[in-house]
Amino acid sequence: MLPDFASVNPETKREALAFLDSLDDARVIAGGTDLLVDMKRGESCGNVVDIMNVKELKRLSVNDGKIIIGSTVTHAAISKTVILNDMAQSLSVACGWVGSPQIRNMGTIGGNLVNASPAADSIPPLLIHDAILSIESKDGMREEALEDFIIAPYETSLRPRELLASVCIKGLPGYREGYRRAAKRAAWAISRLSVAWAISEDDDHFVDVRLAIGSCTPMPFRPRDVEEFLKGREKNDPVIREAVEIVAEEIRRISGDRPSFVYKMPVVKDLVQKALRG
């Protein structure tokens, strides 16, 4: 049973922000795949602001190599959008793995970010694309890098009465991109480990390498040390093996040497190795 709550359905972003400003104990709902589950577990709120009818938040556009994704664009829409498959293939692939078809058709990119699960499929690809979030309230708008927005597992910097309006990412034309994950099942399951990558190469050398690791640390992260290490290096087995070890040490530094790493670390090493080899 869900707890009692009042629900409002704004049709414009201005109305949504006005409701958030005027209502006490208000939570935003879009697809509802996270909030409704939380409420069934006992969390409660007095008011729900349902933003799925706000057209301004459903837009997806491209301008000068930048992709703007409205916060209520669904995972299904992202996975099927041709321009995203061309300019941000890792995100397109990752969103195609989220949950079940029903979840992908209801769940939104904004909800995935605000929920801030360590296992969220969309976060590693957004990290390698330097995602910038537009956050609005009745008092104005601010921008924040995704790396700063998620401050702890299931915790973000979003303030009361604020709304995540859109996500801006940079396209990476010419990069080899992808996303791989390990889960208990091929579908209908959360990621146990995930790696997103975007790699630029020239004449068997790494020009620029972007990696993001999900699900095996409290928050998805980019191993910046290995990205710097690989710049200009020849693409060969010794270099790749050393890069993989640098990633493993960074994971241990962040999370400590957990018992689960006995089986997790070989898998994440394999995922990173395959990403680098292409």
Chain position carrying tokens 């399951």: 189
The more confident residue out of 36 and 160 is 160
Same domain? 62 vs 41 = no
Same domain? 204 vs 271 = yes
Q: Is residue 181 part of a domain?
A: no
pLDDT (mean) for 158-181: 95
Range of the domain at 36: 6-50
Last residue of a domain, one of 170, 202, 234: 170
pLDDT higher than 60, residue 186: no
Q: Quote the CA–CA distance of 197 and 124 in Å, as a whole number.
A: 8
Q: Is residue 156 part of a domain?
A: yes
Same domain? 62 vs 166 = yes
Last residue of a domain, one of 135, 170, 205: 170
Q: Is residue 80 part of a domain?
A: yes
Of 67, 68, 124, the residue nearest 95 (C-alpha): 124
Q: What is the CATH number of the domain that holds 15?
A: 3.30.43
Q: Is residue 269 part of a domain?
A: yes
Same domain? 46 vs 63 = no
Same domain? 78 vs 146 = yes
Same domain? 20 vs 109 = no
pLDDT higher than 70, residue 46: yes
pLDDT higher than 60, residue 165: yes
The more confident residue out of 168 and 119 is 168
Q: Quote the CA–CA distance of 123 and 272 in Å, as a whole number.
A: 17
Q: What is the CATH number of the domain that holds 211?
A: 3.30.390.50
138: region left, alpha or beta (phi > 0 left; psi from -120 to 50 alpha) = alpha
Q: Is residue 180 part of a domain?
A: no
pLDDT (mean) for 198-206: 97
Same domain? 42 vs 71 = no
Same domain? 196 vs 273 = yes
What rounded mean pLDDT belongs to the chain?
A: 90
- Express each pLDDT in 108-143 by its tens digit: 999 999 999 999 999 999 999 999 999 999 999 999
pLDDT band at 78 (very low <50, low <70, confident <90, very high): very high
- Express each pLDDT in 224-247 by its tens digit: 999 999 999 999 999 999 999 999
Same domain? 162 vs 63 = yes
Q: Is residue 34 part of a domain?
A: yes
In this prediction, residue 277 carries a pLDDT of 95
Q: Is residue 175 part of a domain?
A: no
Q: Is residue 179 part of a domain?
A: no
Same domain? 63 vs 165 = yes
Same domain? 19 vs 42 = yes
In this prediction, residue 206 carries a pLDDT of 98
Same domain? 142 vs 63 = yes
The more confident residue out of 59 and 6 is 59
Q: What is the CATH number of the domain that holds 127?
A: 3.30.465.10
What is the total count of domains within the chain?
Answer: 3
Least confident of 6-20, 74-88, 250-264: 250-264
